[in-house]
A and B are shown apart, each in its own frame.
Chain A
Amino acid sequence: MKTSRDLIAYNDLKKMIIEPGFCNLCGACEAACPVHALKIEDRSLKYTHDCTNFMEFCPICYDICPFTEALLLETLGFVSGAPNRTESIGYYRKIILAQAVDERMREISHSGGVITALLMHAIKTGFIDGAITSESEKETPIRIKPLLSLVPDDLLSAVDYEYFPSSVAKAFGRAVHEYGKTKIAFVGTPCHVRAIRKLEAWEHKIMNSLKIVIGLICLWSFSFPKLTKYLKEAYNIDASDILRIDLDKKYDVSMKDGRIISISIPEIEAHTLSVCKMCEDFTSELADISVGGAHPLKDWSIVIIRTEVGEEIFEDAVKANVIRTRKIEERPDVYAHFVEMGLLKKRYAAEEIERRKRCGEPVPPVYIRMLELLPREISLLSSLRAEHIMTREIIAVRPEYTVEDVLTLMTKHHHMGYPVLNERDELVGIVTFDDVSKVPASKRKETLVKDIAHKRLVTAYPNESAMAVYEKMSEHKIGRILVVDRRNPKKLLGIITKTDIMHVLRWPMRR
């Protein structure tokens, strides 16, 4: 990671992001540049004129690029006011299943149609005056381009997926400068959402026009040339003959002539965008609302509400009977599938980063930053002790519970790991989502917790420093650590998770 920055951000941006091929064409740099020196044209980023003619120092394009290390903890501030946080979902207020009441919208979007319904209602009531989403290109329906919707009917051409790069942040800049809209809704993938939040954290003046950010639940985006070449070679299909791509447990490619070709995830993973391979944000953890398909249900979407703005707009739509909801506790299988996909993405990301580090290939600064701590963060963690940051209200399971019970508990409380306490309330083990998902669905009613729980535990004591706790978690590659009494190691006092540590790092920077 660079320690010193060039006076002109574009030089750094070129070296760290554009030349290694980490640009996903979001266009945030184009929207933010005060002298309009950057332009996305022909699916590449062009430097139209030398910005040093106008400025001697400018940090903007490097700071707000979603793949650089700047402003990351500040962006968390937009969602960290939420009461709940877990590793699988991030910070959130509520997670539910929802669908649009109007059947037409569900048909168009091939899942719950929630974003379309929400935004159409918001434009109708004047909550927003424009929405940035994406729509299909005419000749090649799977390729997308940004869409600015100003009236509700414009949203009917919006698509629910973004499997290829779409310059939505550039469209946001255009909506502000050229259309003069002042209450804009932004819909994008996790990296687009991160770019917008970085712009907001930097306090750029175009952000006065942002009203709400809706994030999509995203596994990966593909590189159009790579994927179309592979599809031509392996399956002999042209990109323009493809109608749509759906992701359930496999990628289902629907052709215009009616055929459906299934491609497995490991097979297709080689053709994703290089930055997507290392991304571990599955649920758009920085958005106001995150929406994604609720597989295996065909007509419903999972909705994660993280902020008050998101709650306001969602409750308004529910009250106006545009959206109907259902508790996610009713469908633990949906929740299990959702969390599995998220863990899959995190696993692929960790592997790819390891591989690149070993081979000496470049890694985008943002992922390096997420793995390492700054000196001031180290000193903050060293000054705190485990007893200051642990959660004392613990949800625990008994050894006699079945795996099905544990899954129900996970769907209700959304934590990824639960300590196991015997009838004398002594700590005997820990059971995590990984253990639960390894049990096949048919055996979940019979297998008991004591069969799958880990008995050897990594623990910490209340007076250990938070830095030591963090190091233990990194060393053993675990997501949570149990805090036990030094005098009685079977007495459980609290739990510290990775998200707790991240929350602590934001303490000096409360918004």
Chain B
Amino acid sequence: MAAVQHLTVSTPPVPTSYKTPSVPSTSRISAPHPSGHRSLLPVGPAYVNHLRLSLHHAHSFSALDKHLEAERERLAAIHGESNAAEDDLGVGSEEEPEELLNLDPKEWKKQDHYAVLGLSHLRYKATPEQIKIANRKKVLKHHPDKKASSTPSSTTNSLYLTGVNQNTNDDAFFKCIAKAHEVLTNPEKRRQFDSVDPVFMELEEDIPNATEIKNKNLDFFKTFVPVFELYSRFSKKQPVPGLGHIDSTKEEVEGFYDFWYNFDSWRSFEWMDKEVNEGSDSRDDKRYTEKKNKSERARRKKEDIAKLRGLVDLALSLDPRIKRIKQQEKEAREAKKRAGAPGAPVKKTKQQEEEEKKKAEEEAKAKEEAEKAARAEAKKAKAAAANAAKKARRQQREQEEAAAA
């Protein structure tokens, strides 16, 4: 479609008395300048379009429109392909809510660095490359140099502010971005921040306790899968075994609990340290704070370990598979006790079990009897063999004596 020229005029309504004039059918526009009177300057895209119109499309605007549209699509396709080379590694662009933009860079300890960089959908999973890309995106968008020109001075209409530079707070969010980048690109700082990531901390608080689960009759798997997922990111050993499903084998379940009872966590709580008062020269003061921080860290770590331990205990106590496995083991033991045969079939109805028991008993009896008989026979045979041997020995002796004699 050709360019629409938008005019700022707006016409008043037609007076009600207005009557449409009758147009004389003979009216024509005045004769144009004849061809050759004017000679176009062969410049610019407009000339190219004029040429296309007259040479290719027989002065039909709709045909030209079609051609231009096709051309545009062709170019867009080419352009799109070349655009594909720009891989943002799935960083995307997140909306920034108002409260995020109004963050105070001085309060950087409290800010959510992932949200600031627009990585809240990736969080601890973000790779260093993604962080780099995200930071670049944000910097491009929020650089103070750009802001100064884009914020019109007339936006604020308060009278008393005129003449005051209102752009002073413009780089606040930029500072937040810089801080977030600093934290997330330093592995140590990032580990500390990830340990107390505010979003996950909230989730951690939502973990239900034993009574809640019992009272509300929550589903075991639905409750505990997210809990363990939440904690699994702290593991030094990766990958972390999953909770599994209801039909998981005994080995899997045992492996899972084994892993979680020996959980090796990198979580630490330096982030929550109280700031050492840098201004004071008192060495004692500093040392006191440091000591306190250290003990606080240790306390938090201990609490965290205890909490996790408690969670694993809770899970173990509620795990339907554990109950099942215990039951099976019990049955197996009983069966063993009764039949001495380990590896009895696992699941049978009572009747079957009884039948089987009977059968087993009968079999055992029969076996016993058979064995008894066999033993008796063996005894006899043994005795016979012994007798025979005696006999043979006696005979031999007699022969030897005879020979000696």
Q: Do A and B come from one complex?
A: no
By a beta-carbon cutoff of 8 Å, the part of chain A in contact with chain B is none
